[in-house]
């Protein structure tokens, strides 16, 4: 995959000297990075390194102990009320399980964000739902319950719901978790296609190497031992050229 040129891109997300953890337990210590508009940016690392912790902070679920998180130039660590609400409205989230409501049909799940956050008439919402489901190849499944479709289809339905409000930024939490290799590859191709079609900024938390090499423009790698970012760049470059032994082992699936 061709690397994006950072100098040509506007910053969508900027993390400055962020310290994060729980209680007195520091998980991430003074980390800094930027995500550029239209970039597919992957957060990776070994178990317990803080990937999920970082994601929760980026989507506003948790507040950092110190430092700042800026989304489209607005500091969400200082934002309150309508200001913060508006920033987070520009973000969509695909949770690991899809997080669909089991008692609601696929169409009702996708419609929910628009019903809650817009004044659109029902007819317009219905049309948008059909369009979003078509974008993820789920036309014809509007009236199915989540239990009536496959795991991969639930992920795609969750993605359609995440896109319902046309977010500028999409977050993905382990999108390939629980999927077979073929379904996972299909989801990777869908992510690439949506990114190219709409220039949506995408931040993905994953440890699945095939997906990382397939979709990522750039990655950061966290290490729980130092509680910091130990590598940043193209996954292909890091695999072949990193001077850090742990980074090379991770990308090449090697052991000491």
pLDDT in tens, the chain (256 residues): 445 454 567 999 999 999 999 988 999 999 999 999 999 999 999 888 999 999 999 998 899 999 999 999 889 887 655 566 777 788 999 987 768 999 999 999 999 999 998 999 999 999 999 999 999 999 999 999 999 999 999 999 999 999 999 999 999 999 988 889 999 999 999 999 999 999 999 999 998 899 999 999 999 999 999 999 999 999 999 999 999 999 999 999 876 5
Concatenating the DSSP letter of every residue in 186-199 gives HHHHHHHHHHHHH-
- The count of domains in the chain is 2
In a shared domain, residues 51 and 157: no
The last residue of a domain, from among 123, 149, 166 = 166
Angle between helices 151-162 and 106-117 (to 10 degrees): 20
Q: Classify strands 74-75 and 218-223 as parallel, antiparallel or unpaired.
A: unpaired
Residue 245: inside a domain: no
Same domain flag for 54 and 40: yes
Beta bridge partners of 45: 222
Among 166, 184, 200, give the residue marking a domain's end. Answer: 166
Q: 74 and 17: one domain?
A: yes
Q: Are residues 28 and 53 in the same domain?
A: yes
Which of the listed residues 114, 135, 166 is the one where a domain comes to its end?
166
Q: Is residue 221 part of a domain?
A: yes
List all residues 6 or more positions away from 185 whose beta carbon is below 8 Å from its beta carbon.
210, 214
Q: Is the same domain home to 67 and 179?
A: yes
* Residue 3 placed within a domain: no
- Segments forming the whole domain that contains residue 208: 9-90+168-230
Task: Quote the pTM value.
Answer: 0.90
């Amino acid at each position: 995959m061709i690397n994006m040129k950072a100098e040509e891109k506007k910053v969508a997300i900027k993390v400055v000297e962020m310290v994060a953890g729980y209680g007195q337990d520091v998980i991430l210590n003074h980390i800094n990075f930027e995500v550029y508009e239209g970039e597919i940016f992957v957060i990776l690392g070994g178990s317990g390194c803080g990937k999920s912790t970082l994601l929760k902070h980026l989507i506003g679920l948790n507040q950092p102990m110190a430092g700042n998180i800026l989304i489209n130039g607005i500091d969400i660590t200082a934002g309150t009320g309508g200001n913060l609400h508006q920033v987070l409205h520009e973000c969509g989230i695909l949770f690991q399980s899809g997080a669909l409501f089991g008692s609601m049909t696929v169409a009702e799940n996708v419609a929910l964000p628009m019903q809650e956050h817009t004044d659109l008439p029902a007819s317009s919402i219905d049309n948008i739902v059909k369009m979003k489901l078509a974008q993820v190849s789920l036309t014809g499944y509007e009236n199915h319950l989540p239990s009536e479709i496959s795991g991969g289809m639930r992920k795609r339905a969750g993605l359609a719901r995440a896109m319902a409000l046309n977010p500028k930024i999409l977050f993905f939490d382990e999108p390939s978790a629980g999927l077979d290799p073929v379904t996972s590859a299909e989801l990777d191709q869908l992510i690439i296609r949506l990114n190219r079609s709409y220039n949506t900024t995408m931040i993905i938390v994953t440890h699945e190497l095939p997906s990382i090499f397939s979709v990522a423009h750039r990655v950061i790698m966290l290490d729980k031992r130092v509680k910091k970012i130990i590598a940043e760049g193209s996954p292909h470059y890091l695999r072949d050229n990193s001077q850090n032994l742990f980074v090379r082992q991770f990308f090449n699936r090697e052991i000491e």
